[in-house]
Chain A
Amino acid sequence: MTQIPSAAPPGLVLTGACVSLAGKAVLHDLTLHLQEQRIGIIGRNGSGKSTLLRLLAGLIAPSTGRVQVEGVDPFRARREMLSHLGILFQNPDHQILFPTVEEELRFGLEQMGLPKAEAQAQVMALLARHGRSHWQGVSTATLSQGQRHWLCLQAVLLMQPRSILLDEPFAGLDLPTQARLTRALAALPQRLITITHDPGSLAGCDRVIWLEHGRVAADGPPEAVLPRFEAEMQRLGGLDADADLAG
């Protein structure tokens, strides 16, 4: 490592980052410094929100420009990233790697270098805390959508990353489950960066970023960004034809 993390700016930093997928430019020249505790990302379908999250998490590399998380390149330093960043995928089926609940929860801890016995003890303690000790050997394939979602979130939280990236964490959840998840998330000490289609859930955020066609359309406190966003969505919803959805 040539960079000294302590000298680098804290948080997540994008400098002139562009991303092309399959030859198509998806994100254009993004320069952002994310260090607030609660950050929301909004934008229309196909505007590049998920791509931005994957870029921040180091799952893809920028085609030009630079990404830094707590001073290191998240694409290169995978192991180091584990304590910095966790990501909750939009679809739990894309995230669950193991046939049983225990293996799924244990994996991340083992990846961070914990011995198997200790990882297992932590997993059992977590399940006991949530009154779900009987889940240990349960097959992940038999869990409901909401239960799988919970499992994915716990798998990320167990690794205690400093920031958590959430891609539409409420999609497909029933109202009580949404409410519970909202409370659980609000109580977390971590930095949360959340993609959502529900502007209402962002009122308490420190900062909202509105993406449009892979560029930042607005960036600021929710009371500045959300009214403009909602007005624009109202306007577009009123039109019959939608020239934009073509991508």
Chain B
Amino acid sequence: MLTLTSPVETPLHRLRAGGKLGALALFTFALFWTHSALVLGLGLILVAGLYLGAGGLRFARHGLQMLRPLWPFVAVVALWHLWLEDLAMGAVVVLRMVTAVAAANLVTMTTRLSDMITVLEGLARPLAPVLPPRRLALAIALVIRFIPVLSGRAEQLAQAWRARSGRPPRWRLFGPVALAALDDAETVAEALRARGGAG
């Protein structure tokens, strides 16, 4: 399964995942606490510095790509505040949003899935009486396993449709795909039982 962890190996990859997540939480909290454009600007420079310093240009460009979904919001906020002639406030909003998302993405890009799961298992330990850690791990593995299976099934159904119809299937595939998920859930439950259950 493809993850968002960057293949560009940075020194940040070697830091402990728990530490990175703790620092991120504090940093994000501070961003939403302050209302000073100056402080937020410094925050953004810090994050940009981390991207460039730790991973170099290619890594930073990848980080920029991950911010792309934000641009429409940046545009809307900028226009809005331009119209209100309150640019300082607009700068605060945009800086905060971009910095918070970039910092969070940085942690995601430099932390492997297995390290994340280890942290998660630690965090979930107090829940053990209602949610045994093994069951949580099993659930995560099942989702990762069945995303490609189900999307393969969707692709097969689309081909079967196209083989017998001139029109693209569009929404008509959603029903069969949902049924496939239900059927798989039944057979997987059996496969799990066959090997000792989920207990």
Contact = CB atoms under 8 A, between A and B. Distances in A.
Given A94-B188, A139-B1, A59 B196 contact: no
Contacts of A57: 194
Q: Which of A54, A78, A89, A91 neighbours the largest number of chain B CB atoms within 10 Å of its CB?
A: A78
Contacts of A86: 194
Do most interface residues of chain B lie in helix, strand or loop, or is the interface mixed?
A: helix
B194 A87 contact: yes
Interface in B31-79: none
B191 A82 contact: no
A73 to B, nearest CB: 13
A78 B4 CA distance: 39
Contacts of A81: 196
B191 A141 contact: no
Contacts of B138: 97
B1 A78 contact: no
Contact of A94 (B187, B195, B196, B197): B187
Nearest to A113: B196
B179 to A, nearest CB: 15
Contacts of A155: 195
Nearest to A80: B196
Q: How large is the interface on B (under 10, 10 to 19, 20 to 34, 35 or more residues)?
A: 20 to 34
B144 interface: yes
A103 B148 contact: no
Contacts, number: 63
A72 to B, nearest CB: 14
Contacts of A111: 195-197
A197 to B, nearest CB: 21
A141 B148 contact: yes
Interface residues of A, number: 29
A97 B148 contact: no
A97 B193 contact: no
A113 to B, nearest CB: 9
A59 B195 contact: no
A95 B195 CA distance: 10
Contact of B191 (A97, A139, A140): A97
Contact of B197 (A78, A89, A99, A141): A78
Contact of B184 (A79, A82, A94): A94
B190 interface: yes
B195 A99 contact: no
Interface string A51-90: 0001001110000000000000000001101100011010
29 contacts: A59-B190, A59-B193, A78-B193, A81-B196, A82-B195, A82-B196, A87-B194, A89-B190, A89-B194, A94-B184, A94-B187, A94-B190, A95-B191, A95-B194, A96-B145, A97-B138, A97-B192, A97-B195, A98-B142, A98-B145, A99-B1, A99-B141, A107-B195, A108-B195, A108-B196, A140-B145, A141-B145, A141-B149, A159-B195
Interface of B: 1, 138, 141-142, 144-145, 148-149, 152, 184, 187-188, 190-197
Interface of A: 54, 57-59, 78-79, 81-82, 86-87, 89, 91, 93-99, 103, 107-108, 111-112, 139-141, 155, 159
